[in-house]
Structures are given as structure tokens and as C-alpha cells.
Structure 1
């Protein structure tokens, strides 16, 4: 799974100690596995529909308590029409973009630090969602795990070719050649293993960053309750520094690169 954070690892190289940061998105996947993630994802014609159907299935069947979050607790609509709601459609678009960015950074741009930072930032942002702040519990109910378990079961078969995407068109000769080349390089077993490891890693990173931010928010709330004077003093100190900064004279920069214009007497 990899460590929760990019922790420094000291390695001895001769007489010099080299400090290197361990990034699971870089170290836990080989070059071929990273390319497998990127190329298998790019073969999908519309991953948003697949992720959307998985998202709706989770809300409707697996975790119905999420209906209240999306305003669906009293609706009688079919599951297929839920994606037309703006609140769900926006969430599905964000999840699709999230996966696409990480896969691209791992298999194309090789921005492994960017992938790690994006996942950790996403976990921290979810800690500020009221429903998850009150109900997410890593030991009992972990909605990141619930989502990843379902998406591993429902999404990966489309990547391996076991299932066909809805509305799949007839392949052209070029697409057939590309698919044959792809199947020679990556077996269905490899695709399944790589994507399972990928989703499990994301789930671990999301959970750890969420728990850290959640604990920080709880400590901040407790400080406001049990020591309100400290919170007020900090706010007043920030306000005072801000006002002092505004009162400071701003330096005036004079551009000396251009020569001053000189006025000459009119010879006529």
C-alpha cells in the first residue's frame, strides 16, 4: 500500500547520506504498470458514464444514508434519472476528473508528487463535509472503502474488456490494431491486479489524510469550546498584524532604466 505520507528515507551512498522521499505512487508501481493504468483508461470511450452508474448504485443500494446528502431521501425517481440531477452530475464529473488526473500524472507526465498531493488534498477537503465529519469512521464506516470496493467490482471489468461499455460502436481497423497491440502487452490479470492496487492505494491515502484533517478540526473545535479566550486572542492578534501591515509605508520604486526626457529650446 505504501506509507501514508512522503516520509524521508535515508540511504547510505558511500560516505554520504542521501535523503529521499518515499512516494507510493512512484515506488509501488513499475513503469509497465504505470503505462498499463494510463493506456487501459484511455481505451474507455466515456468513463464518466461508468463511474456515474457506480456512484448511483452506491447511493441507491449500498449506502442509502447518502440519499439525504444529495437530496434524494424522498424521491421516487429511478436510479437512471439520478445522474440528471446537478448535485450528482457535478460530483460524478469531479470523481472522473480526479481519476483522470492521477492516471495521467502517473502514466504520461510522470508527475508522481502531483498525484500524491492531489489525493492527500482531496482527503483533507472531504473532512470538511458535514456528513463525513460526523459519520465517517475508519474503524466502523469508511465511505472511501465502500466506494473503492464497489468500483473495483464494477469498473475494472470494463478496463479488461470483460464487459462492453454501453453504446459501444463498431471498431474501426485502426482501433482493432490498437486493441490487439494492447492485449499483447497487458493481460486481463495484469490489468485487474494493477487497478486493484491503484484503487486500494488511493483509498488508503484518502483515509489517512482525512483522519489527520478530521483530528485537526476536532482539536480546533475543542479549543474554541474549552479555551475560547485563546481563540479570541489569536483572532485579535491576526487582525492587529493585518492592520499594522496596512499602515506600513509602501516602498516607492522608481524606474531608472528609462532616461529622463529633456526639453530643448525651439530653434525656430
Structure 2
């Protein structure tokens, strides 16, 4: 009961910190053992193996898969090994800002259709069962991870669900902030010529009257 209450309290805190912004969610959402769990349970799927995995025969999709695998590798390493929680937070935020330059997302991403959430939910449903051992890869070259067996299926599932929830929230929030900033800059560039024309017209009218 105590653990469940503590977990519920942390989940409630996640929602608070995601919306408020100034607090690092990776720092307040996980205890040290949970951060280590993220790092160690991901090791069989880290970036070293991405080149060995049979990628889809689509260069852009394969590139995205490799980059996202590398992103997860770096994040779990910073959170659970080097304990660079600020770096992990900055990386998540930078990922959102970088995606604001994608034309498709710039035009189609909204509250009703959050593509980051779609991807996050897919990973929760499809990838976590491999992380917690409920499913096994057909490959025989899976790494053996030291201490991985000390984490229960329930713990790995809970930790990764919270991780993906936080990651999606941070990417979405920073994406929206950057998109608004870019939209404002574009609007200002459009308005400036009109403003100059109006000022010139007023100046010419004043000179004519003088």
C-alpha cells in the first residue's frame, strides 16, 4: 500500500510539473532505483544494436528509427547511469523544438491529433512488453544485462510508462512553444512592410500639410 500510494503521489506530481515548466520532471518522478531500472532494462535494445537490426527498406523511416533509438539510449544513460538529469530534460525539450521545423507537424499537430502521443502510446503498448520480458525477440544475440533480473515486470512496466508519458509531454510542450515563437516571428516579418508603408504615408501627409 505504501509503495502504491507513493507511486500515485509521484504520478500526480508529474502532471503538475509538466504543465508548470520550471521543475525537472525526470528528477521528481523517479527514485534512484527506478532511474537505474530505466537504464539497465533498455541495455538489450541500445543504440549499438540499431545497425544490426533489420531496418525497414525506407531510408527516411530507418533514419528516424535509428535516431530515436539513439535518443532513448542517451536519455536512459543520462537518467539512470551518469545521473545527468538536467541534460536529459534539455534533450527532451530540444527534441520538441527541433520537430517544430517539420512542415507536416507544423501544419497538422494539434490537441485533437497529437502525433507525439500516438508514438508514445505505441511504444507503451508494443515496446514495453519486450523491456519487461513478457515478450522475447526472435534474435539470439540479445545482450545479457547484469542486475536486470532484480526488477519485477510490474516495476519495469510502471517506470517505462511514466518515462514515455513525461517524454511525450515535454516534447509536445516545447514543440508548441517553439511553433508559437516561429509563428510570431513570421507574423512580424509580414506586418513590418505594411507598418513602414503606413508610417511613410503619414510622414508624407504631414510634410505636404507643412
Note whether the superposition's TM-score is higher than 0.5: yes
Per-residue CA deviations over 1:187-229 (Å, capped at 9, x if unaligned) read: 0001000000000000000000000001111111111222236
Per-residue CA deviations over 1:85-126 (Å, capped at 9, x if unaligned) read: 221111111111111100000011111110011110110010
- Which residue does the alignment assign to 2:148? 182
Unaligned runs of 5+ in 2: 1-13, 197-210
- Which residue does the alignment assign to 1:162? 134
Helix, strand or coil at the partner of 1:128: coil
Helix, strand or coil at the partner of 1:84: coil
TM-score, with structure 1 as normaliser: 0.61
- Which residue does the alignment assign to 1:33? 34
Higher normalized strand content (fraction of residues): 1
Confirm whether residue 222 of structure 1 aligns to residue 187 of structure 2. Answer: yes
- Which residue does the alignment assign to 2:18? 3
How far apart are the structure 2 equivalents of 1:164 and 1:47? 15
Higher normalized helix content (fraction of residues): 2
TM-score, with structure 2 as normaliser: 0.77
Confirm whether residue 152 of structure 1 aligns to residue 124 of structure 2. Answer: yes
- Larger Rg computed on CA atoms: 1
Any residues of structure 2 matched to 1:48-197 within 5 Å, and which? 48=50, 83-137=56-110, 139-169=111-141, 175=144, 181-183=147-149, 185-197=150-162
Per-residue CA deviations over 1:31-62 (Å, capped at 9, x if unaligned) read: 0100000010013377648xx8xxxxxxxxxx
How far apart are the structure 1 equivalents of 2:26 and 2:103? 29
Q: Which has the higher contact order (CA 8 A, sep 6+)?
A: 2
Q: Is the 8 A contact 1:36 1:191 kept in 2?
A: yes
Q: Is the 8 A contact 1:47 1:96 kept in 2?
A: no
Number of residue-to-residue matches in the alignment:
179
Give the 3 Å change call, closer, same or farther, for CA 201–127 of structure 1 in structure 2.
Answer: same
Q: Is the 8 A contact 1:36 1:186 kept in 2?
A: yes
Give the 3 Å change call, closer, same or farther, for CA 152–222 of structure 1 in structure 2.
Answer: same
After the TM superposition, which parts of structure 1 deviate over 4 Å for at least 4 consecutive aligned residues? none
Q: Is the 8 A contact 1:4 1:205 kept in 2?
A: no
RMSD over aligned CA atoms reads: 2.5
Give the 3 Å change call, closer, same or farther, for CA 219–160 of structure 1 in structure 2.
Answer: same
